[in-house]
Structure 1
Amino acid sequence: MRAIVLDSDDQYRITELDEPAPGPGEVAVRVAYAGVQWGDTMVKDGLFPVPRPFVPGFEASGHIVAVGPGVDGGRVGERVTALATGGAHAEVVVVPAVLALAVGELSLRTAAAFGWGTPTAYDLVHTVARVREGEHVLIHGAAGGVGGAAAQFARLAGAGRIVGVAGSADRAAYAARSGFDRILLREEFPAGLGDERFDVVLDPVGGPTRQAGLRALAPHGRLVAYGALGGHAPVLADADDLLGDGRSLMTYNGNLLSRTHPERLADSARRALDLLTAGRIRIDVTAEYDPADLGLAVRRLREGATHGKSVLRVAGRLTPLPASPTGADTRPATPAGT
């Protein structure tokens, strides 16, 4: 098969590799589209070490072409969205069967964009923070795939007010389409909030932003940390101080959940997928790239130049390039879900 590899010189190349075969409890998916997500930037920047050459890509859509032992053979031919731990930027990717979800007639382009971000947003709102009727919610990264989906899920959960934080005026204008009641620019946070307090804060940023988010919690409020886009500066929280107002600092790690309790992640993903197919939420695919432009896609995501979701069109587009490496490891566990 053909695949994109990230080589030891930090360059993406397209090469020929052996097609992976599914093991017990796994399926092989012939990839139509693959998502581009924050985990791709982290691997490219060396924030999470992986063996190189490495086939990147953590989310894909396509058709199941083979099943491993213990998987119903009737799934061959099924149209799915698949959550991977690497290897999705290739013609075929192997994933746990439980994390390959049937999508029915949903467009495969949208199914790839569903990826890790939509189940993450669902879990943040429904499983971890448990947003209640009338509650006020603050969402950082409002123009991203997770932030936009979280705003929609929070509205469906009955949130009374939803405030977003975005990195630029352009991104704020885009985020407004997801139903936020108000959007602040990053430089306006937290001063722009005034005395407003929130029942739920969703924070993928960390550092001073997380510290300010804790201060912005109302009594019994919950801050959910699910990333550290702003760096890994320690955030100090006094448990006794939090206890006095009933405030909570919580965390969510979708990649860990996929390895410890994949059935829980799959359940949330199915619930989110049902809402998507019913037209109750939407996913915006705002950029589509050819495989040869993966480096551009990752760079634009890192720089905040993209809104919503970016995808690669894989089917029929992976053309080999000369002088490519061989022997890439397509399936090590790597960070995903951001």
Structure 2
Amino acid sequence: MKGVILDTDDQFRLTDLEEPVPGPGEVAIAVAYAGIQYGDVLVRSGHFPVPRPFVPGFEAAGRIIAVGDGVDPARVGRQVTALTSAGAYAGVVIASAALTLDATGVDPRVAAGFGWITPTAYDLINTVTRVRPGESVLIHAAAGGVGTLAVQFAKNAGAAKITGVVGNGDQADYAAGFGYDQVLTRDRFPDALGDERFDVILDPIGGATRRASLERLTPHGRLVAYGNIATFEPVQVSVNDLLMQGKSLLTYNSNLLSQTHPERLADSARQALRLVADGQVHIDITAEYEPADLDTAIQRLADGETRGKSILRIA
């Protein structure tokens, strides 16, 4: 089969690979499309060290063609979307049966775009910060995959006002189409907000943005850190100050959750997928690439030029 490898020289190459076989608790999926995500940037940069050559790709949509021990054989032939630990940029990928969801009736392109971003956005709003009706929410990276979904989940949860922060004016126009009540460019944050405070803030940026965001929480407000796009520099926070001000700093790591409590992640993913299938939540597929163009796709993501979700066509 054909697949893409990340080689020892940090280059992506299309090559011939042996077709993998599922082990216990696993399924083999003939991949139609694969989702492109920020984990690809981190693997390429070496932030997440992996043995090279490495077959990247963490999100797959396709059809189950084989199952391992302990998996219902009736699943063979099902159209699915899967969260994988590697290998989705190839003709066949192995995935945990627990994190492979039935996607019958869902467009395969959308199923690939579902990936990690949709359960992540769902969890950030519903299980981590637990947005309540009438609360105010601020979402950084509002034009990205998680940001365009989180605003929809926040509205579904009854948020009264949702503010987005983006990198530039073009991204502001794009993000506004997903239901934000207000969108600011990063150079206007936080000054343009005046004295406004928020019950919930979603922050994948880190650094100075995280420090400024903590200052913008209401009493009993919750900030969830789920990435460090800008910098991996640690942000020092006084727990005593948080306690006195009634503020909470939370974290969310979907990759870790998939290893420690995969059933929790799978449950959130199923609930999110139902909302997508029902048309209540829209995944915006903005770019489709061929395997030979993967490096361009990932560089655009690293440079902040990507809106919504990009996918790779495999079959």
Same fold (TM over 0.5): yes
Match of 1:35 in 2: 35
Q: What are the within-5 Å matches in structure 2 for residues 16-165 of structure 1?
A: 16-165=16-165
1:192: how far off? 1.3
- Give the Cα separation in 1 of the matches to 2:133 and 2:8: 50
- Give the Cα separation in 2 of the matches to 1:162 and 1:32: 35
- Give the Cα separation in 1 of the matches to 2:192 and 2:262: 40
- 2:176 alignment partner AA: A
1:46: how far off? 1.4
Paired residue secondary structure (2:221): strand
Paired residue secondary structure (1:227): coil
1:2: how far off? 1.1
Segments of structure 1 that go 5 or more residues without pairing to the other structure are 316-338
Match of 2:188 in 1: 188
- Give the Cα separation in 2 of the matches to 1:193 and 1:230: 21
Match of 1:326 in 2: none
Match of 1:275 in 2: 275
- 1:146 alignment partner AA: V
Match of 2:305 in 1: 305
- Give the Cα separation in 1 of the matches to 2:140 and 2:130: 17
Paired residue secondary structure (1:110): helix
- 1:305 alignment partner AA: E
Paired residue secondary structure (1:178): coil
- Give the Cα separation in 1 of the matches to 2:197 and 2:293: 43
1:47: how far off? 1.3
Match of 2:203 in 1: 203
- 1:203 alignment partner AA: D
1:262: how far off? 0.4
Match of 1:15 in 2: 15
CA displacement, residues 167-223 of structure 1 (integer Å, 9 cap, x when unaligned): 010111100111000001011111111100000000001111111111000000000
Match of 1:291 in 2: 291
- Give the Cα separation in 2 of the matches to 1:138 and 1:174: 16
Match of 1:336 in 2: none
- Give the Cα separation in 1 of the matches to 2:187 and 2:47: 26
- Give the Cα separation in 2 of the matches to 1:116 and 1:33: 14
What is the percent sequence identity of the aligned residues?
62
CA displacement, residues 86-121 of structure 1 (integer Å, 9 cap, x when unaligned): 110000000100111001111000000000000000
1:303: how far off? 1.1
- Give the Cα separation in 1 of the matches to 2:193 and 2:30: 47
1:15: how far off? 1.0
Compare 12-21 and 72-81 and name the one that shifted more.
Answer: 12-21
Per the normalisation by structure 1, the TM-score is: 0.92
1:11: how far off? 1.1
1:140: how far off? 0.2
Q: How many residues align?
A: 315
Paired residue secondary structure (2:47): coil
Match of 1:236 in 2: 236
- Give the Cα separation in 2 of the matches to 1:154 and 1:284: 17
Compare 192-201 and 229-238 and name the one that shifted more.
Answer: 229-238
Q: Which structure carries more relative contact order (alpha carbon 8 Å, separation 6+)? A: 1
Compare 232-241 and 90-99 and name the one that shifted more.
Answer: 232-241
Paired residue secondary structure (1:30): strand
- Give the Cα separation in 1 of the matches to 2:232 and 2:294: 27
Match of 2:167 in 1: 167
- Give the Cα separation in 2 of the matches to 1:55 and 1:25: 21
Instruction: Say what the alpha-carbon RMSD is for the aligned residues.
Output: 0.6
- Give the Cα separation in 2 of the matches to 1:300 and 1:278: 31
Per the normalisation by structure 2, the TM-score is: 0.99
1:232: how far off? 1.3
1:272: how far off? 0.2
1:245: how far off? 2.2
CA displacement, residues 123-159 of structure 1 (integer Å, 9 cap, x when unaligned): 0000000000000000000000001100000000000
Paired residue secondary structure (1:125): helix
- Give the Cα separation in 2 of the matches to 1:238 and 1:44: 34
Match of 2:5 in 1: 5
Match of 1:253 in 2: 253
- Give the Cα separation in 2 of the matches to 1:43 and 1:170: 28
- Give the Cα separation in 1 of the matches to 2:12 and 2:248: 42
Segments of structure 2 that go 5 or more residues without pairing to the other structure are none
- Structure 1 residue runs of 4 or more that deviate by more than 3 Å after TM superposition: none
- 1:37 alignment partner AA: Q
- 2:277 alignment partner AA: T
- Give the Cα separation in 1 of the matches to 2:65 and 2:119: 24
